Amino acid sequence: MIKKLALLFFLCLSISSVAQQKEITLVSWNIRDFGKTKNSEELNTIAEIVRDADVVALQEVVAGYGGAQAVAKLSDILNRKGAKWDYLISDPTHSPKYVTERYAYLWKTAQIKIKNRGNLIKQIDEAVDREPFLIDFYFEKTPFTVINFHSRPFDQNPEREIKAISNYILNTLTGTVFLAGDFNMNEQEEVFNPLKKKGFIAALKNQKTTLKNQCSPLGYLNYAIDNIFYSKNIHCIKTGVIDFVGSCDNLEYARNLSDHLPVFVQFKLNKK
């Protein structure tokens, strides 16, 4: 059922991509404890969910044994679904005990290229528990920067981290920039105002992205904390979440994959 929902969801994206070929889909997903706990069936389901994206940014890749191997297995599965993929895994973040993790990127190599291996943003290491992972991608030689981030929990002052990342972006980066990840905060909070005042746009507006432990009369979605902020110099086609749950009957299995929904932005780059 989850596979069918994911395929139906991305059908409209696939159709538009065939027609225009210049569109790029970026998916961001807190995959929760992504490592040896994910079996082959679950990895295949994850691949079905993201297969029609062009770039995938993952948070919560296990820093120890199993995390890098799970990303490699996911890339191998994706490579057997009709397109060539590559992947990149960050170094472990310089974090307090039990907080360290890795980030990962996966992308289709036919049109998306890289020139370096990316880097953790160590300039803000003292202000954050997990340094964001930055990389420059190239689409037909046009660059765009993606920053992959997982903040500390909402009750541990993620505002300080978001301020530090925002200052870094606004004072250091130019061009087309995406800030993607799990912020543990709603995009409506004031801490995001500096980015918004400089033209950055939140892909989702108060859209719940996390899964409850059990369904309630209000459904299975909980908090609006995952998002993608993108700079004003792109042409946004579509944004949203990939709801691979669909109904309360699927919730238990879905939570084996993650307790977060993937979020996405489909866009076109403005050529220089």
Q: Higher confidence at residue 97 or residue 119? A: 119
| Contact by Cβ (8 Å): 236, 107 | no
What is the pLDDT, as a whole number, of residue 97? Answer: 86
Going from N- to C-terminal start, the domains of the chain cover 2-16+30-259
d(CA 21, CA 182): 29
3-state secondary structure 206-232: CCCCEEEEEEECCEEECCCCEEEEECC
Sheet holding 263-269, edge to edge: 85-89, 101-108, 55-62, 24-34, 263-269, 234-241
For the chain, the average pLDDT equals 93
Half-sphere exposure of 60 (CA within 13 A, CB side): 21
pLDDT band at 15 (very low <50, low <70, confident <90, very high): very low
Task: Indicate the helix (H) or strand (E) that contains 143.
Answer: strand 142-150
Residue 98: pLDDT over 80: yes
Residue 271: pLDDT over 90: no
d(CA 166, CA 135): 16
DSSP secondary-structure letter at 36?
T
Average the pLDDT over 205-234 and give the result.
97
pLDDT band at 129 (very low <50, low <70, confident <90, very high): very high
Half-sphere exposure of 103 (CA within 13 A, CB side): 28
Residue 163: pLDDT over 90: yes
What is the pLDDT, as a whole number, of residue 19? Answer: 39
Average the pLDDT over 165-188 and give the result.
98
Topology at the third CATH level for domain 2-16+30-259: Deoxyribonuclease I; Chain A (3.60.10)
Residue 114: pLDDT over 70: yes
d(CA 98, CA 182): 18
pLDDT tens digits along 227-269: 999 999 999 999 999 999 999 999 999 999 999 999 999 999 9
